[in-house]
Chains A and B, each alone.
Chain A
Amino acid sequence: MAFNVTQAAKNGIAGVSAPLPKKDLADPIFRAVAFSAATLLLITLGGLLVSLVIGGWPALSTFGLGFFTSTTWNPATEVFGAAGPIVGTLLTAVIALAFALPIAICIAVFLTQFCPKIIAQPISTAIELLAGIPSIVYGMWGLFVFAPWFAKTIQLPLLLSVDPDSLWGKLFAGVPNGANILTASTILAIMILPYMAAVFRELFRSVPPQVREAAFGLGCTPFEVVSSVLIPYVQKGMIGVIMLGFGRALGETMAVTFIIGNAHGFPESLFASGSTLASTIANEFTEATGDLHTSALIALGLVLFMITFGVLAMARALLSSQRY
Chain B
Amino acid sequence: MALALSRATRRKLASQVFVAVCIGAAALALLALSLIMFSLFTKGFGGMNLMVFTADTPGPDSAGGLRNAIVGSVIMCALAMMLAVVIGVLAGTWLSEIGGNSPYGHVVRFLNDVLLSAPSILIGLFIYELLVRPMHGFSAWAGAIALGILATPIVTRTTEDILNLQPNALREAGMALGASQWVTVRKIIWKAAGAGLLTGGLLGFARISGETAPLLFTALNNQFFSLNMNQPMASLPGVIFQFAMSPFDTWQELAWAGALLITVTVLAINILGRWIARDTDHK
Contacts and interface: CB of A to CB of B under 8 A. Distances in A.
Interface of A: 5-6, 9, 19, 22-24, 26-27, 29-31, 33-35, 37-42, 44-45, 47-48, 51-52, 54-55, 102-104, 106-107, 109-111, 113-115, 123, 125-130, 132-141, 143-145, 190, 193-194, 197, 221-224, 226, 244, 247-248, 250-254, 258, 278, 281-282, 285-286, 298, 301, 304-305, 308-309, 312-313, 316-317, 320
21 contacts: A35-B98, A40-B91, A41-B91, A42-B107, A104-B25, A110-B25, A127-B30, A132-B266, A132-B270, A134-B266, A136-B237, A139-B241, A224-B11, A253-B212, A278-B121, A282-B216, A285-B217, A304-B121, A312-B114, A316-B114, A320-B110
Nearest to B211: A134
A218 to B, nearest CB: 13
B80 interface: no
B99 interface: yes
Contacts of B115: 41, 44-45
Contacts of A104: 25
Interface in B6-51: 11-12, 14-15, 17-19, 21-26, 28-30, 32-33, 35-36, 39-40, 43
Nearest to B19: A114
A38 B30 contact: no
Contacts, number: 275
B234 interface: no
Nearest to B243: A140
A35 B99 contact: yes
B178 interface: yes
Contacts of A193: 29, 32
B156 interface: yes
A286 B218 CA distance: 10
Contacts of B88: 37
Contacts of B255: 140
A34 B178 CA distance: 21
